[in-house]
Structure 1
Amino acid sequence: MINWLYIVFLLVILWTMAIMYLAPRISRSKHFGLLGPALMVKSTKNRNIIDRIAKRFPGILFGKISVVLVIISSIFAVILLVYGSILSLSIKPSNAPSLSLLIGLPGINPAIPISYGVVTIIAAVAIHEIFHGVVARRQGIKLSSVGALFFIIPLGAFVEPDEKEITSADPVIRRRVIAAGPGINIVIAIISLIIVAFLLFPAVTPTHQGLYVESTTGGSAAAAFIPTGTELISYGNSTVNYSGNALLNMTMDSVLIPGHNYTAEISKGGTLSKVSVPAGIVIASVIEGLPAYNASVPVGSIILSVDGNVAYNDSVLSSYLDGVAPGSNVNMSVDVYNTTTHTYTIKTYAITTTSLYYYYSKYDPSSNSQSYMNKSFVGITLGYLGIGGLTLSGMQAILSGSQVFTVPWNGILEFIALPFAYLYPVPSSLASLFTTPFSPLVFWGVVNVFYWLFWWDLLLAITNALPLFVFDGGQFFRDTLYIAGKKERLKFLRSDANVRKITTFVGFLVLFLFLWEIIVPRIV
């Protein structure tokens, strides 16, 4: 089987070697230039387009606003790096993300679609470069050339200010020009987010108020009959039936008899059907080294009872175990599903409990409590029926990005991460569960375009805002130090040598954090 990641890496190496070999010739050419390993195809004929835009656009004001936006973005980017570095300490090598997920290129990163990814990244890079040129012209700085940027494939456009004029410009002016690129990316990201959150998603409604199944526990009956990507509309019988938000709460308050079959109404791709699935809390995982693991209790089995006490839900089970002294022997009866024969076998396991305090001391010390010392724990995680998911209204809130405005920190991180949960582009199985105001194909296409415009523009903005020498943020930070040096108490910043030392130190610190996030999860 062809490993496309290796092929791409080979292409990158060959491209870079070719650029290094041709670099002397390219540097002497009027029509080509280099931006790192990227090739610039230059033109002087289209500079008047930038001039026409600059005449009508308040570039000086926008430059000033962009400076503020870049400062905020730089702080946000550094906080993200530090936050990611801290989180990386808790990631085991076996759970470290693949290198392909760390490469932000469509087609290489499996979370970034080629279609939406290529179109929107080219748009984001092009508008970024154009606004460098627009603000430069408004500030009276000439443009040497405009053109296209290539790194194996087209990456977008570029605008090249006159080197002598941009170098000799006042740091205040130069900083505005540099800030304009990330600044327009931030503006477009905000506009795209507003369109998705307040114009597009309010126009859709869930066809049913059910539970969208995001995951199922392997070895459970639900994995066979309620696959991921379907909607669980209702579950129960004529006497007790759960629907809507109640489906989400069954883990804690179900009164259905565990192990007994009940009817689940599901929607798959808009097609309704009914299946029979046994009720109960399903063991989603057993924690290595703890009692259930040591007793070989199978994942995917339904807990029927503990010491004869029926385990209707997690609340009932936890309440009983809380009253059992740690170190006691309990008998847990479970219903084991055979995925081949689709039959069930009741088995009973003798388990010696440990304390909840021991579990938290080992896995989550900050949440531990003395009150846990007398509460038993068997080392399992649970999920009702063996499914995990959210209500359709909950999924709508997540996909819309509206949580960015209610819980900003968690909301923005969750919204950025949606492609890695394979929720953007919105999967067809999920899209089919909503009613749209016009053609679903067109509607969801528009939603996906605006989301990826948001994603790429935000990523481009915060990356370029970092005070690293290869990004706009490196020169922005340098000019900020020169500007600060105008104050008498910071006059030491008037020295090029001092500024160079500070920017070099900060740049290597940022680079260190980048490498830390990549390397540490693979060795700790």
Structure 2
Amino acid sequence: MPTRRRVQDEEAKQGRVEFSFPLLIVRIKTFTRVYDRLGAFGASRPVSWAAIIGMPILASFGLYFIFSSLLTLLTTPAAREIGRELGPQAYVLLPGINPYLPILYGWLAIIAAIMVHEGAHGVIARSLGFRVKSSGLLFFLVIPVGAFVDVDEEQMAKAKPKNSVRVLAAGPGANIAVAIVCLLGVLIITSGLTPVVDGLYVFDVMEGMPAQDAGLQLKDVIISVDELPITNFDDFKAILDDKNPNDTIQITVARGEKWNDQFSTTAKLTEHNGSAYLGVSVGELLTEQRLRTYQKLATETLYLHFMPPTLASGLVPFSGALNDFYTHTLGENWHILANIFFWLWFVNVNVAIFNALPIYPLDGGRAFKSVLKSVLGRRAGGRIASRLTTVVAVILLSAIVMTIVLPFIM
């Protein structure tokens, strides 16, 4: 145990600024006092027990994802092709390296996730009587990248396994709690969305073709042909298949800001490969269908909520590609709030699952080792627990590395 003088000396150093290139460490006494106050609440202890229950569940999700992904890559060439297209950087949860993590939303979510994670360790540590030697903020040069909590490792090592594991489980537990709240935020926001238009989005008007002569423009949305509503490509194709070259059709499109304006025109079809031809390239908006699918929280649609809007822009209503096609009572910037909630959900759930894995020195790995020592006995089981922990960590790290490199070697 540290002496009283040593404790006082260490506490006196709190608040100092250290620079170890490229990290800037700022120790803040206020954080420790906050942990003391929150740890004094009676609710903190039952919450820590809930976190213990949740940790193996999170680890199970992580293990399932790792080994199911590995199996899919081994047996499915299309999956390996997707892996090659995404690139190895897609597995790194760092904006600027991972092209699918936006800089602003990404860093906001990462900093929040780390502060929640470390703060939970500090609160539960204090509630169980462990000393927090220091805590504060971490900066990469001058860019804030998170927080840290330095719990007394000597006390943790000598404590009952159930107490040390409660401290370790608190981080992932807090992350998953925040993630669930933020996912509910995403669902609440999307439940208030209203599509402003549906039909076929015009992304190319061919020069000299009937569509151009009729006045169709890029970003128009075809909503009817010959007064028949158009909601998908099959509707459009069925009408054109019934026409002959030189037939005239009436087209109504939505355009302008929020597609509030309607423009009707006629086009005389030309011939292309023996069929009537308009000369326009279109894509299905399916705004109502996409919205209903995203709003549905079911087993078959759950994967959608793990899909970043930067990666699956055609599936997520608040993505940059689709948000203009919806309105919300929150106003024009509703999609900013939806993105904040999404990225907080996405980063926190990933941090929770990854840290719960039995990979030493992650929280899950340290908890796994502590439980093994308890089961096997401290004297005889210490060495065996260390070896088993190392073996499990090597196996899991190898599996993770294989999921990244397999697309490039098969």
**Is TM > 0.5 for Structure 1 vs Structure 2?**
yes
Q: Which runs of 5+ in 1 are unaligned?
A: 1-28, 280-300, 305-332, 343-384
Q: Does 1:396 align with 2:282?
A: no
TM-superposed CA distance for 1:434, in Å, is 1.7
Closer, same or farther: CA 259–449 of 1 in aligned 2, 3 Å: farther
Closer, same or farther: CA 438–277 of 1 in aligned 2, 3 Å: farther
Whichever residue aligns with residue 170 of structure 1, its letter is: K
1:177-196 aligned at under 5 Å gives the runs: 177-196=167-186
Choose the corresponding residue for 1:82, options 48, 67, 70.
67
Choose the corresponding residue for 2:31, options 36, 43, 46.
46
Q: For residue 203 of structure 1, what is the aligned residue in structure 2?
A: 192
Q: Does 1:265 align with 2:283?
A: no
Q: Does 1:131 align with 2:24?
A: no
Residue 309 of structure 2: SS of its match in structure 1?
helix
Counterpart CA distance in 2 for 1:437 and 1:93 is 38
Residue 420 of structure 1: SS of its match in structure 2?
coil
Counterpart CA distance in 2 for 1:447 and 1:259 is 47
TM-superposed CA distance for 1:156, in Å, is 1.2
Q: Does 1:432 align with 2:314?
A: no
Counterpart CA distance in 2 for 1:86 and 1:162 is 41
Q: For residue 480 of structure 1, what is the aligned residue in structure 2?
A: 371
Note the alpha carbon deviations across 1:73-92, whole angstroms, 9 max, x for none. Answer: 11111111122223334223
Q: For residue 130 of structure 2, what is the aligned residue in structure 1?
A: 141
The answer to whether the 8 Å contact 2:35/2:119 transfers is yes
The answer to whether the 8 Å contact 2:313/2:321 transfers is no
Note the alpha carbon deviations across 1:111-157, whole angstroms, 9 max, x for none. Answer: 22112221221111101110111111111111111111234532111
Counterpart CA distance in 2 for 1:278 and 1:414 is 45
Q: Which runs of 5+ in 2 are unaligned?
A: 1-12
Closer, same or farther: CA 167–516 of 1 in aligned 2, 3 Å: same
Counterpart CA distance in 2 for 1:161 and 1:223 is 69
1:9-408 aligned at under 5 Å gives the runs: 31=16, 40-56=25-41, 58-89=43-74, 90=77, 91-92=80-81, 95-152=84-141, 153-197=143-187, 199-210=188-199, 230=219, 232-238=221-227, 241-244=228-231, 247=232, 249-250=234-235, 256-257=241-242, 262=249, 263=251, 265-267=253-255, 269-271=257-259, 272=261, 273=263, 387-398=282-293, 401-403=294-296, 405-407=297-299
The answer to whether the 8 Å contact 1:226/1:266 transfers is no
Note the alpha carbon deviations across 1:185-215, whole angstroms, 9 max, x for none. Answer: 1111111111221x212222112344568x9
Residue 162 of structure 2: SS of its match in structure 1?
helix
Counterpart CA distance in 1 for 2:27 and 2:267 is 65
Q: For residue 345 of structure 2, what is the aligned residue in structure 1?
A: 454
TM-superposed CA distance for 1:251, in Å, is 8.3
Counterpart CA distance in 2 for 1:209 and 1:434 is 10
How many corresponding residue pairs?
A: 381
TM-superposed CA distance for 1:181, in Å, is 0.7
% identical aligned pairs: 25
TM-superposed CA distance for 1:70, in Å, is 1.6
Choose the corresponding residue for 1:415, options 306, 320, 324.
306
Counterpart CA distance in 2 for 1:129 and 1:265 is 54
Q: TM-score under structure 1 normalisation? A: 0.63
The answer to whether the 8 Å contact 2:113/2:348 transfers is yes
Note the alpha carbon deviations across 1:294-338, whole angstroms, 9 max, x for none. Answer: xxxxxxx98x6xxxxxxxxxxxxxxxxxxxxxxxxxxxx67899x
TM-superposed CA distance for 1:440, in Å, is 1.2
Q: Please, what is the CA RMSD of the aligned residues?
A: 3.9
Counterpart CA distance in 2 for 1:496 and 1:278 is 84
